[in-house]
A and B are shown apart, each in its own frame.
Chain A
Amino acid sequence: MSRIGERFAELHRMGRRGFIPFITAGDPNLDTTGRLLLKLADNGADLIELGVPFSDPVADGEVIQRASERALRNGASLRAILDCVARVRRDLSIPIILFSYFNPLLQFGEERLADEAAAAGVDGVLVTDLIPEEAQSWSARLRASELDPIFLVAPTTSDQRLSRIAQEARGFLYAVARAGVTGARAILSADAETLVQRVSTRSDLPVAVGFGLSSGEQIREVWRFADAAVIGSAIVREIENAGRATDLVERVGNFVRALRATAEGHSDREA
């Protein structure tokens, strides 16, 4: 079983749900990203999604677009991002999932990515603009290197497609909470719960919910019906707000710990 599969199995045994923070690799620079990965793990992350920046992120809202621009200005190439993961891997026990668009991976090369990402200690790859119909050789290649191909399912996905996507996917399925791009929204759509229910009757894979979640309360709400919740833009915004502050990593750690505490129903006022 992959590290992702093991992690969800362990959560399941403990009767717990997962918390998956997202950050953009290289925002504001890769040295900070390495320290952030460790800090997120220390502050309650069960898995981490690591964004590989792309110049034209059509699935992302403004916050992650800006983070991608900052990262690209600072030269965050895929090879440098894998080096960064490799450096922290031995101090990090939780799974890391690359979250990207197809073109940067395509130019890196399918074979090369599968080999080098696995060697760096990456556990899964989610490509937002790659649907299973276009991804067959791609997911086979990832699986051959023991990397989990993660796929999105959306409220607009038909039941028939849900089954098909579930067959192609490994690790977990990522349910898009509502039609739209990434970014904080005040209200969690009822679409998310309906979608997770539809997925659960067709697949045994764990289901994580993301796109639009931003608060501890929303995580708790998602935990009621799904295996894990993803928080992206809210954390990335915290990184943006910290700017060049020397305590950026500490601040983001506190923010994430507070999210987790709220989700679990503790008040963590000092954060």
Chain B
Amino acid sequence: MKSTIRRSEPDERGHWGKFGGRYVPETLVAPLEELTREFTRARTDEKFWGELEELRRNYSGRPTPLFHARRLSEHAGGAKIFLKREDLAHTGSHKINNAIGQALLARRMKKRRVIAETGAGQHGVATATVCALFDLPCVIYMGAEDVRRQELNVFRMRLLGAEVVTVHSGTRTLKDAINEALRDWVTNVHDTYYLLGSALGPHPFPLLVRELQSVIGREAREQILAREGKLPRALIACVGGGSNAIGLFHPFIADENVRLVGVEAGGRGLTMGEHAARFRSAPSSGGGCIGVLQGTMSYVLQDANGQIARTHSISAGLDYAAVGPEHAFLHENGRAQYTCASDAEALEGFRLCARLEGITPALESSHAILPALRLAREFPRGDAIIVNLSGRGDKDSQLIAQLEKS
């Protein structure tokens, strides 16, 4: 489908069309407005960008490489596949891009305490890392199920000096960690900065996180133009909340001939509760519909009574019932397309990437590999596509080893 969307900017209250906005208890309006003001000031402040640039370059290791994956490309038999190597960023994923930027805001706002949620643990590790760097006390909320799946990251967060709080309520995954972080924030609004990890939640978070992650797409655009002399035919990235995907996509929104493809978690199957594919099909056949969860209007997996559905994904980072509002907007106007990959396909993508390229992607990022091979086949060999390799798979080694044993 061809779209004429050339811009994807929210209105001043954070709405992309009907999506986004601010659906929060009244107590949180004041801190969200305070954050919006500070972010607006910082956006035009050279000092802020200077500090951020310095940290990006010398602390987190940007720009990350754009690697031509020749053997994967050969295997696909189509366009050249390039991997944007966010897995090489400090702490092992793109999450550090957002964490550094928001920690700078927290410091400008003189907040004395930072809280965050985490699913796979990557955002928790990134937050714990910048809090160590900035000497800020830090509490990370993590669902009990994810603590079990991502033991290594729990250990890393504690090593970095963070307090990790295990959340036992609800489905005991990312969604419940966000609920608990919101409850902490609403109770400690005066001195606490909520460092939200994905492009979701109430305004200004979806915009703020996108702005901080857009460095991925800006670099990729420059790198591919320098190397290939032309734009890629398509970009592809996994979508949980959607921050790595929107970070790659956004600088290409106006490039109408560049296809944008998001990959959701197809989990174990089509029925509700077995996946986290919010955009797939109608609610009657297990897909999501428009709703409000955790401060924003978007596509949400839910039952007919508006109760949030259980979700499943082999990767904790994609195991979430809603999706960032800008993705809902891009889905609805057709600028981006969304597909999904099952648990098994993600594992196969992981193995292929390991064997053919010597790179072990995070299970989240692994979801994009097989769809990327299919996408590459749609274009001639002289063209290119870019896959966002949003994180590295060290954290998943144990889980994969267990699966191979059983």
CB-CB under 8 A for A129 and B23, given A180-B186, A181-B187: yes
Interface stretch, picked from B213-221, B293-301, B331-339, is B293-301
Q: How many residues of chain A are within 8 Å of chain B by beta carbon?
A: 40
Interchain CB contact under 8 A, A103 and B25: no
Neighbouring A residues of B189 by C-beta, 8 Å: 156, 179
Neighbouring A residues of B188 by C-beta, 8 Å: 179
Chain B, 102-158, CB within 8 A of any chain A CB: none
Out of B26, B293, B305, name the residue touching A157 (CB < 8 Å). B26
Interface SS majority for chain B: mixed
Interface stretch, picked from B80-88, B175-183, B353-361, is B175-183
Interface stretch, picked from A12-20, A89-97, A130-138, is A130-138
Chain A, 60-110, CB within 8 A of any chain B CB: 61-62, 65, 72, 77-78, 101-108
Out of B175, B183, B295, name the residue touching A129 (CB < 8 Å). B295
Interchain CB contact under 8 A, A78 and B175: no
Interchain CB contact under 8 A, A134 and B26: no
Q: How many residues of chain B are within 8 Å of chain A by beta carbon?
A: 36
CB-CB under 8 A for A131 and B305, given A103-B292, A156-B30: no
Interchain CB contact under 8 A, B308 and A128: no
**Of B26, B188, B300, B302, most A-chain CB atoms within 10 Å:** B26
Q: Mark B305-322, 1 if CB is under 8 A from A, else 0.
A: 111100000000000000
Q: Verify if A11 is at the interface (C-beta below 8 Å from B).
A: no
Interchain CB contact under 8 A, B186 and A56: no
A181→B27 CA distance, assembly (Å): 10
Interchain CB contact under 8 A, A181 and B302: no
Q: Verify if B170 is at the interface (C-beta below 8 Å from A).
A: yes
Nearest-CB residue, chain B, relative to A76? B305
Interchain CB contact under 8 A, B305 and A56: no
Q: Mark B27-40, 1 if CB is under 8 A from A, else 0.
A: 11111000000000
Interchain CB contact under 8 A, B307 and A128: no
CB-CB under 8 A for A179 and B306, given A58-B294, A133-B22: no
Q: Verify if B3 is at the interface (C-beta below 8 Å from A).
A: no
Interchain CB contact under 8 A, B25 and A54: no
How far does the Cβ of A205 sit from chain B's closest Cβ, in whole Å?
Answer: 15
Chain A, 136-162, CB within 8 A of any chain B CB: 151-158, 161
CB-CB under 8 A for A179 and B292, given A104-B306, A129-B24, A133-B13: no
CB-CB under 8 A for A56 and B21, given A104-B305, A180-B187: no
Chain B, 153-204, CB within 8 A of any chain A CB: 169-170, 175-176, 179, 182-183, 186-190
CB-CB under 8 A for A106 and B183, given A56-B293, A131-B29: no
Q: Verify if B282 is at the interface (C-beta below 8 Å from A).
A: no
Neighbouring A residues of B28 by C-beta, 8 Å: 156
Neighbouring B residues of A61 by C-beta, 8 Å: 183
**Of B29, B170, B188, most A-chain CB atoms within 10 Å:** B29
Out of A56, A108, A179, name the residue touching B27 (CB < 8 Å). A179
A128→B13 CA distance, assembly (Å): 19
How far does the Cβ of A256 sit from chain B's closest Cβ, in whole Å?
Answer: 26
Interchain CB contact under 8 A, A107 and B306: yes
Nearest-CB residue, chain B, relative to A104? B306
Out of B13, B30, B186, name the residue touching A59 (CB < 8 Å). B186
Neighbouring B residues of A152 by C-beta, 8 Å: 25-27
A176→B29 CA distance, assembly (Å): 13
Nearest-CB residue, chain B, relative to A72? B307
Interchain CB contact under 8 A, B26 and A56: no
Neighbouring A residues of B292 by C-beta, 8 Å: 101-103, 106, 129
How far does the Cβ of B136 sit from chain A's closest Cβ, in whole Å?
Answer: 20
Interchain CB contact under 8 A, A179 and B305: no
Out of A104, A158, A181, name the residue touching B307 (CB < 8 Å). A104
How far does the Cβ of A7 sit from chain B's closest Cβ, in whole Å?
Answer: 23
Chain A, 101-131, CB within 8 A of any chain B CB: 101-108, 128-131
Q: Verify if A194 is at the interface (C-beta below 8 Å from B).
A: no
Out of B170, B175, B187, name the residue touching A179 (CB < 8 Å). B187
CB-CB under 8 A for A129 and B305, given A103-B292, A180-B187: no
Interchain CB contact under 8 A, B179 and A154: no
Interchain CB contact under 8 A, B25 and A58: yes
Nearest-CB residue, chain A, relative to B308? A55
A176→B187 CA distance, assembly (Å): 12
How far does the Cβ of B51 sit from chain A's closest Cβ, in whole Å?
Answer: 29
How far does the Cβ of B117 sit from chain A's closest Cβ, in whole Å?
Answer: 12
Out of A54, A104, A157, A181, name the residue touching B183 (CB < 8 Å). A181
Nearest-CB residue, chain A, relative to B176? A56
A105→B220 CA distance, assembly (Å): 43
Nearest-CB residue, chain B, relative to A127? B23
How far does the Cβ of A234 sit from chain B's closest Cβ, in whole Å?
Answer: 18
A-B contact pairs, 8 of them (CB 8 A): A57-B179, A58-B179, A103-B306, A104-B305, A104-B307, A106-B292, A156-B28, A176-B27
Top 5 A-B pairs, shortest CB-CB distance: A107-B306, A104-B306, A156-B30, A154-B27, A180-B187
Q: A55-B308, A129-B23, A154-B30 are in contact. List 13 more A-B contacts (CB 8 A).
A: A54-B307, A78-B306, A101-B292, A103-B291, A103-B293, A108-B305, A129-B25, A131-B23, A131-B24, A133-B13, A157-B27, A176-B25, A179-B27
